[in-house]
Chains A and B, each alone.
Chain A
Amino acid sequence: MGVKQSVKMAKCVVWDLDDTLWKGTLSSGDEVVVDPRILETVKTLDERGILQSIASKNNHDDAMRKLEEFGLAEYFLHPQINWNSKSSSLTELQAKLNIGLDTFIFIDDQEFERDEVAFVHPDVETIDAADRFLLTDLPRLSPVHVTEDARRRRLMYREGEQRDRSELAFQGPHDEFLRSLDMVLDISPAGGDDLLRLEELTHRTSQLNSTGIHYSYDELEKLIDDPGHDLWVCELTDRYGSYGKVGMALVEKSGDQWTIALLLMSCRTVSKGVGTVLLQFLVKRAAERGARLFARFRRTDRNRQMLLTYRLANFHVVSRDGVDHLFENDLEIVRDYPDHVRVNVDA
Chain B
Amino acid sequence: MHDSGTPVDAAPDMDVRESIRGYIKDNIASLGEDGLRDDDNIFEKGFVTSMFAMQLLAHIESAFDVEVPDEHLNLHRFSSVERMAEMVSELRAVRRE
Contact = CB atoms under 8 A, between A and B. Distances in A.
A312 B48 contact: yes
A175 B50 contact: no
Interface string A327-347: 000000101001110000000
Contacts of B73: 304, 307-308, 311-312
B50 A339 contact: no
A173 B75 contact: no
Q: Chain B CB within 10 Å — which of A271, A311, A314, A338 has the most?
A: A311
Nearest to A325: B70
Interface stretch (A26-34, A58-66, A272-280): A272-280
B52 A312 contact: no
B29 interface: yes
Contacts, number: 71
Contacts of A275: 50
Interface SS majority for chain B: helix
Nearest to A340: B47
Interface in A271-323: 271-273, 275-276, 299, 304-309, 311-314, 316
Interface in B47-91: 47-55, 57, 70, 73-75, 78
Interface residues of B, number: 23
A272 B47 CA distance: 12
B70 to A, nearest CB: 6
A313 B43 CA distance: 10
A4 interface: no
A174 B52 CA distance: 8
A276 B75 contact: no
A173 B54 contact: no
A266 to B, nearest CB: 14
Nearest to B25: A173
B72 to A, nearest CB: 9
Interface of B: 26-30, 32, 43, 46-55, 57, 70, 73-75, 78
